[in-house]
Amino acid sequence: MAVVTGAPRKVVETNRVIAPGQTAGAIDDVVNTPVLVGPQRTPAWWWIGFGITLSLLGLYLVSIVHLITTGVGIFGNNQPVSWAMPIINFVWWIGIGHAGTLISAALLLFRQPWRTSINRFAEAMTIFAVVCAGLYPILHIGRPWVFYWLMPYPNTHGMFPNFRSALTWDVFAISTYASVSLLFWFIGLIPDLATLRDSAKSRFQKLVYGALALGWNGSAKAWQRYMRAYLLLAALSFPLVLSVHSTIAMDFAISQVPGWNNTVMPPYFVAGAVFAGFAMVLLLAIPLRRAFGFEHLITLRHLDNAAKLMLATGMIVVYGYVVEIFYAWYSGVEFEKYMAYNRVLGADHWWAFWALIACNLLAIQPLWFRRVRQTPWALFLISIFVSIGMWLERFVIVVVSLTKDFLPSSWGGYVPTFWDWALYIGSFGLFGTLFLLFLRLLPAIATTEMKELAHHDAHHGVDAYESIREAYYRGEVRA
Amino acid sequence: MTTAAAGTADLYGLIAEYDTPEQVLAAAEAARKAGYTRMDAYTPHPVEGLDDALGLAPTNLGFVVLAMGLFGAAAGYFLQWYSAAVFYPLNIGGRPLHDWPTYVVITFEVTVLLAAFTAGLFMLARNGLPRPYHPVFNTPGFERATRDGYYLCIESADPAFAEDAVRGFLEGTQPVSVQAVVR
């Protein structure tokens, strides 16, 4: 059971979805032991990470207090750039969240066995990213304490929100997405919580995990309803996740600002969300598999597949950039043409566009090579570039479009303030703190689903091409 | 086990433990064919075909979710139509008050919200969860049921239940053990 030791381990990497010869008990031990050990056996890296994220969370809280006591004037937002860092960061965080839902819902519906070991922490990533995202609109409305005015409810003002506004659509989309993601995650966790309850050593753990497991006993009738409910939740979450980022794209697309008013926005935003989300999945999975010794559960195959999806969605995003510029020319509208010129060659922000191309187009090209897709450190580096690139993309869309729109007399500039950065950097603290607590208190891998996968693998093989692929990668078979 | 007088009243059923899903599947199949109806299997992960082997009726969860989803769609649309066209009419750029295309997004979101929560919460409710106590947890060593043990329990509520006969039947299915489950 001595899994959490710093002793060097011999890692046997595999291209299979799960390393051969996994048993149910072994999966439980490797995943649940780090969760169930006492506080004194928490690994050092966890405390160091927790210290860092907690400090950043402190910065976040200080920023929020300063914002609430002083007002939104502490941000660099101005006229014409009335939407700036808060919206950029909101879209950036929510985009990251989308990969988790796609992994758990879309890959389940498409029966992809490689979803199983990465879905749980990816769903946790989704929820924490949505928390970070959701706080931005609430904080930057100016009077956060009356944010509930955004919801339609009978009130003494006798007023209702404007349902023709994409911002009201957003309120519904984000709150539905947050609550359904949380439900999907918790329903998925119930059998794993029952496993923790039954392997817990201390009375306190038995009580807490027992209460959370709701008395799950794994009866066949319960499993039958559970599997149906899980399938339905997946089928509902898949279109939901597409609708959420499409709605966010419509915040921009249904306005008249050159650079925003574009029908390509919804699909291109969804692709961008998946792109950024898979980058974040890799940023979390690569250290995670190393720290917990999950190399035989989160295998090179997972990294490879995530990298392929990143490459594919990245190229869709780049196609979006091309279409935007093409339509600026093709529309013949002078403002659109100037927007495209200003975005690519304008004196103020040309660097943002070209940095974006460097991150989102050039940096991902090595992913065409299998060797790069299977080298964790290279993937980690590329994922960092992608995360920066996707932030720059939103910067280019939001800020660069607003600085120079129609009348030159109304043009302006934008410089983020200290508090803009503090609230952004601080949000990493919120995300990191929640994620580290999740790693310490809940199983990072869905053990129940892994047991089913291991059983299928032992008896039928999880995937018909598995052995052929293995042989091909070893060089025994040529295509 | 001694069949004391208090025995049958307190007996929830007899439970057999197996090491593999194939064994519990075969045992469930045999139990159904032997005419037992009040029984359940307990497994660490869903086992394909076990509901058929036990003769369980298919779940009707999908219809409930569909009904609630449609209700959500109607409610979401009504909310927008009533507030934007009747109760608090807003003239936005001269557009018609009842402009259904702008209602699509929220109607969809409310549909998904209601359908998803019905799927999750109705499943829990029908499974009787949260439920802190269940007799099957009294089985010694039942912790294996969420790890790597597969169980089949024939309940004393079964019309065909006779303790010795059931014990004999379960022992014939090559279990690791057969134990009595007391309430």
Residue of A nearest to B99 (CA): A164
In the block, residue with structure tokens 């070991």: A117
Q: Does the beta-carbon distance from A164 to B102 stay under 8 Å?
A: yes
Q: Is-cis flag, bond preceding A80, omega within 30? A: yes
Q: What is the pLDDT of residues B36-57, one digit of tens each?
A: 888 899 999 888 888 888 888 8
Please give the residue range of the domain that contains residue A278. 24-152+160-461
| Model pLDDT, residue A8 | 52
**A267 neighbors A286 (Cβ within 8 angstroms):** no
* Structure-block tokens of residue A130: 């949505």
Q: What is the pLDDT of residues B69-98, one digit of tens each?
A: 999 999 999 999 998 888 888 887 888 888
| Model pLDDT, residue A465 | 59
Whole-Å CA distances, A119 to A101, A112, A116, A132, A227: 8, 11, 6, 20, 16
Whole-Å CA distances, B24 to A185, A388, A396, A462, B14: 29, 52, 60, 21, 14
| Model pLDDT, residue A6 | 47
| Model pLDDT, residue A475 | 67
CATH number at residue A418: 1.20.1630.10
Provide φ and ψ at B13, rounded to 5°. 165, -175
Q: What is the pTM of this model?
A: 0.89
C-alpha to C-alpha distance for B47 and B29, rounded to whole angstroms: 13
**A311 neighbors A129 (Cβ within 8 angstroms):** no
How far off is chain A from B72, nearest CA to CA, in Å?
12
Evaluate whether residue A400 is within a structural domain: yes
pLDDT in tens, chain A (479 residues): 344 444 455 666 777 777 777 777 888 888 888 888 888 888 888 999 999 999 999 999 999 999 999 988 999 888 888 888 999 999 999 999 888 888 888 888 888 888 888 889 999 999 999 999 999 989 888 888 888 888 888 888 888 888 888 889 999 999 999 999 999 999 999 999 999 998 888 889 889 999 999 989 889 889 999 999 999 999 999 999 999 999 999 989 988 888 888 888 899 899 999 999 999 999 999 998 888 888 888 888 889 989 999 999 999 999 999 998 998 899 888 999 999 999 999 888 999 999 999 999 999 999 999 889 989 999 999 999 999 999 999 999 999 889 988 888 988 889 999 999 999 999 999 999 999 999 999 998 888 888 888 887 777 665 555 666 666 666 665 54
C-alpha to C-alpha distance for A36 and A32, rounded to whole angstroms: 6
Domain count, chain A: 1
Who has greater pLDDT, B58 or A50? A50
Q: Choose the mutation target among A160, A174, A230, A242 for the interface with B, i.e. most B CBs under 10 Å.
A: A160
Average pLDDT of every residue of chain B? 87
Q: Does the beta-carbon distance from A199 to B126 stay under 8 Å?
A: no
Evaluate whether residue A79 is within a structural domain: yes
| Model pLDDT, residue A9 | 58
Who has greater pLDDT, B1 or A407? A407
Evaluate whether residue A1 is within a structural domain: no
Nearest to A401 by CA among A457, A344, A316, A333: A344
Residue of A nearest to B118 (CA): A229
Evaluate whether residue A467 is within a structural domain: no
Strand, coil or helix: A275: helix
